[in-house]
Amino acid sequence: MILTEWLDEIPDDWACVPAWSLFSERADKAEPDAVHLTPSQAYGVLPQTEYMEIAGSRVVLNLTGADKMKAVYEGDFISHLRSFQGGLEQSSLRGKVSQAYTVLRPSPLVQSGYFRYLMKSRIFIEQLNNLTDQLRDGQTINYARFARMGLPLPPLESQRIIAQYLDHETYEIDAMLAKLDVLNEALNSRRASVVERETIARSGSLTRLKFCADISLGKTFQGVRKSDHETSVNYIRAASIQPSCLELDDQRMWMTREEQRKYDLRKGDVLVVEGGAGFGRSAHLAQDMPGWGFQNHVIRVRPDQHHDGRFLNYCVKGHYSSGLIGLLADGATIPGLSSDKAKNLPIPDMSLEEQQRIADHLDEVTGRIDAMLATIDELKALLVERRAALITDVVTGRKKVPA
């Protein structure tokens, strides 16, 4: 039986054929000195060393099974452990991959450009979700089921025309996305520059954050109730503090009434990420958050009566963008901004009225920039949606392309 339910209908001169007739599973043993390849959703198929350099991360090195790796040839398609999210990747390189991957060898009926778009299309990826087997580190394609999947097969010349059309159209869309990325970067740089200039770069006397506010860490996560006096409450965690806003979710831990008072969150507080990814990011609370607490990877900065929380937040952001917070974390086993280092961050020493004037000004300026950044995000989302919809419509024959 051919699994064709994912295809509504195809043009009269197209065929719908089982995947096994177009792709066979390659099981060739790789040469020992072949280049170790890494298929990825974001970058395609790259040599492992190049992937690690670009992605800035390590991958699990396959040492024990180095003599059992699969060969990959130019034009092969590879199912990786995130194919259920990003489709199959085509390799332009010859090399080898671990046995965890499924390598597909195309038949002469396959025009690589067309199938490269088909196997990254949204509708194809949705179908892949029905053909996966759970593994410890992700999901891989069950070839036996994939082989029965119905695939559209336009005539070879039509495949070539479709690939050329999509090459042109996606190039135009990608060029627009790249321009928006440049504008986004310029606006973020402008935002950081304005904040730095109006806060940490000002001439004059300095004080320390510890002399401006009460600074404390939150409670270590407690997922199990230990007493009848404890209540399940929402809490702010490090991941909640994003560059431009707070992202709240229904994360809970157990706290006593005393702890709820100790770890409460009030209007004017500044929250700073203490450790982990994004350490040094900060957010200002514009209102009370009754019933919420915060965990121990978040620093709460509670201004005294002589200091404005918005101004202190802008100062922390200035130190973050200027690189000081990153420098303070250098040498630490786990990079982070400890509460002791946060206490000693330099803060311009000025009157409350001057702080409020600067904060009002920065609210206005950054508000305008944030509105432009939001518009860019909306435009990018529309272009990404347009790109995905176009590919799906063309590779399935819903949209005809000019010859």
**Domain limits of the chain?**
15-154, 206-348
Task: Determine which of 39-48, 57-66, 351-360, 371-380 has the lowest per-residue pLDDT on average.
Answer: 57-66
Query: What pLDDT is recorded for position 14?
Result: 93
Higher per-residue pLDDT: 332 or 103: 103
Query: What pLDDT is recorded for position 100?
Result: 82
**Does residue 60 surpass a pLDDT of 60?**
no
Query: What pLDDT is recorded for position 137?
Result: 47
Higher per-residue pLDDT: 8 or 339: 339
Parallel, antiparallel or unpaired: strands 213-217 and 298-303: antiparallel
Residue 177: exposed, middle, or buried by beta-carbon count in 10 A (0-12, 13-18, 19+)?
A: middle
Tell me how far apart the alpha carbons of residues 240 and 110 are, in angstroms, rounded to a whole number: 47
Q: Evaluate whether 15-154 and 206-348 have a shared fold.
A: yes
Model confidence band, residue 134 (pLDDT cutoffs 50, 70, 90): very low
| CB 373 within 8 Å of CB 181 | no
Residue 308 CB partners (closer than 8 Å, separation 6+): 268, 352, 355, 356, 359
Higher per-residue pLDDT: 144 or 122: 122
Parallel, antiparallel or unpaired: strands 270-273 and 298-303: antiparallel
Tell me how far apart the alpha carbons of residues 397 and 157 are, in angstroms, rounded to a whole number: 14
Task: Determine which of 119-128, 137-146, 336-345 has the lowest per-residue pLDDT on average.
Answer: 137-146
Tell me how far apart the alpha carbons of residues 159 and 142 are, in angstroms, rounded to a whole number: 26
CATH of 15-154, one of 3.90.220.20, 3.50.50.60, 3.40.50.150, 3.40.190.10: 3.90.220.20
Residue 61 dihedral angles phi and psi, to the nearest 5° = -80, 130
| CB 208 within 8 Å of CB 238 | no
Tell me how far apart the alpha carbons of residues 52 and 40 are, in angstroms, rounded to a whole number: 11
**Does residue 138 surpass a pLDDT of 60?**
no
Model confidence band, residue 365 (pLDDT cutoffs 50, 70, 90): very high
**Does residue 147 surpass a pLDDT of 80?**
yes
The Cβ of residue 245 has, within 10 Å, a number of other Cβ atoms equal to 10
3-state secondary structure of 216: strand
**Does residue 133 surpass a pLDDT of 60?**
no
Task: Determine which of 5-9, 229-233, 322-326, 366-370 has the lowest per-residue pLDDT on average.
Answer: 5-9
Tell me how far apart the alpha carbons of residues 358 and 197 are, in angstroms, rounded to a whole number: 11
Higher per-residue pLDDT: 55 or 34: 34
Average pLDDT across the chain, whole number: 90
CATH of 206-348, one of 3.40.1350.10, 3.30.1490.190, 3.40.50.620, 3.90.220.20: 3.90.220.20
